[in-house]
Amino acid sequence: MSYSFNHVHLKSPDPGATADWYVKVFDFTVVSDNIRPYGDRFIRCETTDGVVVNISGARDGEMLGEGDASAHHGLEHFGINVGNMNEELERLKSFGAEVLEGPISVPNGPVIAFVKAPDDVRIELLQLP
For each of the domains in the chain, give its residue range(s) and CATH number, in order of start. Answer: 7-56 (3.10.180.10), 78-127 (3.10.180.10)
pLDDT at 4: 81
Q: Distance between CA atoms of 106 and 6, rounded to whole angstroms?
A: 29
Strand arrangement, sheet containing 7-11: 7-11, 52-56, 41-46, 29-35
> Which residues, given as ranges, of the chain have pLDDT below 70?
none
pLDDT at 1: 81
Q: Distance between CA atoms of 59 and 63, rounded to whole angstroms?
A: 8
pLDDT in tens, 76-96: 999 999 999 999 999 999 999
pLDDT at 12: 96
Q: Distance between CA atoms of 114 and 16, rounded to whole angstroms?
A: 24
Q: Does the model's pTM come out above 0.75?
A: yes
pLDDT at 96: 96
What percent of the chain clears pLDDT 70, i.e. is strictly above it?
100
pLDDT at 3: 78
